[in-house]
Amino acid sequence: MSMLNYSFKAKNTEGTLVAGAMQADRREHVITALKNKGYYLLSVEPESKLVGVLRRGSGLGSRVTVRDKAVFVHQLATLLNAGIRLSGALKTLSKQTRNKYLASVVSQLQADIEQSSSLSQAMARHPNIFGNVLRAVVEASEESGSLGETLFVLSKQLKARASLNARMRAALTYPIFLLVVSAIVVVILTSFVIPKFVELFINVNQVLPWPTRILIALSHGTRDYWWVWLAGLLLAGCTFLMALRDKRIRLLVDGWLLKAPVIGALNTKLQVARFARTLGSLLNGGVRIVAAVQTTRGATANRAFAAEIAAVEEAIVKGATLTNAIGSQKHFTEVSANLIAVGENSGMLPEMLLELAEMYDLECESAITSVTNMLGPVMIVLLGLIVGFVVLAVLLPIFETSTMVG
């Protein structure tokens, strides 16, 4: 059943007016979810398509980060392990969750649970928040009766992923800042500073040096034809994004990203780490190996690497071990194959996969930090060369004029 967006207005327990949007398959689910939070309903209406598109496009009120999900899963596991029933735990979390959008989704989960749905079935109504991997782990743990324990392990994996993402963003912040500053400096120089000197050079009857001529051409191109540059960039971006929709082109691009100089080895390790963490989490939750590999393939964004996982899945279906299956794939490293072999031989495959993921995460973080530490000085030198070229182009005709006068 398709999910719809509903706009609502209500008053909370303190009498404060609350307005927002909630996603549900029926209006009754929205009403039940809001009443469970103690709200006094004023109106619940289907959201218009235009409003929904604008809200989703802006990202306002509908962003749930990996850390938000990690905190939610950890708190749910803690409440369940304390002996609280699932419906009561969800009701408590719907009132305590800081992310308003996630809180509304948790309320809907509670409403679905009270109508005899399982947690995995309730989560399936919100695929934009609860992905295939998380739902598969929850479903397997529900069948084995170990939901609380499995959610606790899953929350640790989500926290590790959120922590890695945060560290990578922090490492990339400084180079991106320098790149933006460099771009702003170039735009200011070519659009406002250089044109003032151009008027002076035009009135001087002399042959201008080549650096000055290049600078004047760049200044004219930026100032008089900025819209051409902007249209060209937009057209190139749209063309690239449209080309990526073609499966063959996307496969070629993703394959190149695994082989490219510098970033190829790093991207391969990132893909292996995500494969190991996802597969380890699924196996640890009780999912069978073939279904776990299939779900892992579906959660892999890189099409070229997903194709290799599909080959691994096919080999396992035919009776091969995971070690033998990945051993014939070129992007799975020898280290990963050896660790997986140890895990299979010792009966600790899920634990060894999670250990492999953590090891490669640390290597990737270290590599990204090294690259960004190198990019900082490179960007500073590049910015210095740009400013130096501008100064040279401005001063050279002045020096030549002074020599001629002398």
Distances (CA, A) of 80 to 75, 92, 94, 150: 9, 12, 15, 11
Q: Which residues contact 10 (CB under 8 A, 6 or more apart)?
A: 17, 18, 19, 34, 39, 40, 41, 42
Buried b (16+ CB within 10 A) or exposed e, 257-281: bbeeeebebbbbbbbbbbbbbbbbb
Give me the percent of the chain exceeding a pLDDT of 90: 12
Average pLDDT for 57-83 = 80
* pLDDT per position as a tens digit, 200-210: 666 666 677 88
Res 286: pLDDT: 81
Average pLDDT for 174-194 = 79
Res 72: pLDDT: 92
- pLDDT(359) > 80: yes
- pLDDT(389) > 90: no
Res 205: pLDDT: 64
Which DSSP state fits 47? P
Task: Give the pLDDT band (50/70/90) at residue 315.
Answer: very high
Contact (Cβ atoms closer than 8 angstroms) between residue 35 and residue 41: yes
Res 379: pLDDT: 79
Average pLDDT for 279-283 = 86
* CATH class for the domain made up of 66-158: mainly alpha
Q: Where are the alpha helices (DSSP H) in 15-85?
A: 27-36, 49-58, 66-81
| Segment of 39-48, 304-313, 360-369 carrying the highest mean pLDDT | 304-313
The residue that leads in pLDDT, 23 or 297, is 297
Contact (Cβ atoms closer than 8 angstroms) between residue 317 and residue 290: yes
Res 235: pLDDT: 93
Res 115: pLDDT: 80
> How long a stretch of residues is the chain?
406
Q: Give the count of beta carbons closer than 10 Å to the beta carbon of residue 43.
A: 10
How far is 325 from 38, CA to CA, in rounded Å? 54
- pLDDT(308) > 60: yes
Give me the percent of the chain exceeding a pLDDT of 70: 89
- Whether this prediction's pTM lies above 0.75 is answered by no
Res 219: pLDDT: 77
* pLDDT per position as a tens digit, 200-256: 666 666 677 888 788 778 777 777 777 888 899 899 989 888 888 888 888 898 889
Average pLDDT for 275-287 = 85
How far is 364 from 370, CA to CA, in rounded Å? 10
Task: Give the pLDDT band (50/70/90) at residue 189.
Answer: confident
Res 405: pLDDT: 54
| Segment of 29-38, 143-152, 298-307 carrying the highest mean pLDDT | 298-307
